[in-house]
Structure 1
Amino acid sequence: MSDSETAPQSQQGIGILGGSFDPVHMGHLWMAESALEQLPIEHVHWIPAATSPLKPHGPVASNEQRLQMLRLALSGQEGHVIDDWELQQDGISFTRLTLEHLHQRFPERPLYLIIGADSLASFDRWRDPERILELCHLAVIARGGQAPPDYSILDSMAAPDRLRTIRESQISMPQIEISSSDLRDRVSSGRSIRFQVPHPVRTLISQEKLYQEE
């Protein structure tokens, strides 16, 4: 797998999974694999964010460290592409700009933006949400044991046929109690993160002394 892998021409869609990945963990990997199984997509673009407008304090690990963790986690795995376009912009990452870039790059292929139900609940706070819905289909993660995603927030933002496609693009997966912030806290307090991140990622975190208190 290459960071700059070029997709073959086809009508299959492209999944988009953005985030800080600070660090990438098994929950991220399971989410992406579920998307590959359930959506009409050829691969998932992993797009690490430079600075999220909803998380202005930014990531803890450096851009290169987060990219290296992704490379280690995804090495040799088909269907996964690391896309560092947002990092190359060196600024706040707005989803609309990323989608417009991908639409220009793959004009004939539908884009599926993979998000959690919590992100759907705050979708009206995103920049240009109506434009985002024009550029992509949302693919919302529905986790077992949690309330179903509430799509009513989108009712005034898109046409009924687009809303129907979004509902049909829902991704089902088990509830996984892993978060990057909890993993950082565990490392900081000297607790184990074994089996919660891929082994090579855990080794890099230890070697680089990431997330350890000064």
Structure 2
Amino acid sequence: MTLKRTTERIIGTRSHVEFINVFDKESVESKSDTIRMFKKWALEFLTEPHPDLGRAGPVCPFTGPSVDRQLFWAGVLDDANIDFDTMAAIAEDMADIYQELPPGEGKDAIFRAIVAIFPNISNFNVIETVQLQRKSKFVKNGLMLGQFYPGCLQPGLWNDDFRPLDSPLPMLAVRQMVSTDYPFLATRSEWMSAYLKKFAPTMPSPARAYIVAKITS
């Protein structure tokens, strides 16, 4: 799919939402109040350790390297009433845009990230619904689709009382699937099949199917 692109922004072909490189110091749009709030949260929460995390290291190991390499993109939709179809179109745009983000190859490609921010919505159920209904398609294509919003109760992997997705802004986020994503995918056979196909490509398909059946049964 051909994307509308300028030096500093990429425009989704379905939603027409503009995504900018938020840690590019020359980007004027990165100075908006919403983007400033997002950057503050990303730098002060995601890139830092937390006493309730349950393991050493930052809350999100990928955010710091993504920021340092200026590979973090974000789009903002200010509408207060965003329905499922609109948000789903934005998610589909992000999946397409992600594949076009530089660098397309090489060791730094894993640190690309893109988020859509919805600062004025109060119905967070639409975020949960889009994330759940679109996750399978993302996983099949080697991507992870995550939901963030104020009060999100999704527990952390290492501490059930920690809430890593509780954020000051409602968002959907896309990043590349990595080998450590196994715990997020073990509950559904289609997710585990995609995971093993990506990280164990030389394993015969009957063997992968057997392992998936054992894990998800």
TM-score range, shorter chain: 0.3 to 0.5
Q: Please give the TM-score of this superposition, normalised by the length of structure 1.
A: 0.32
Q: Please give the TM-score of this superposition, normalised by the length of structure 2.
A: 0.32
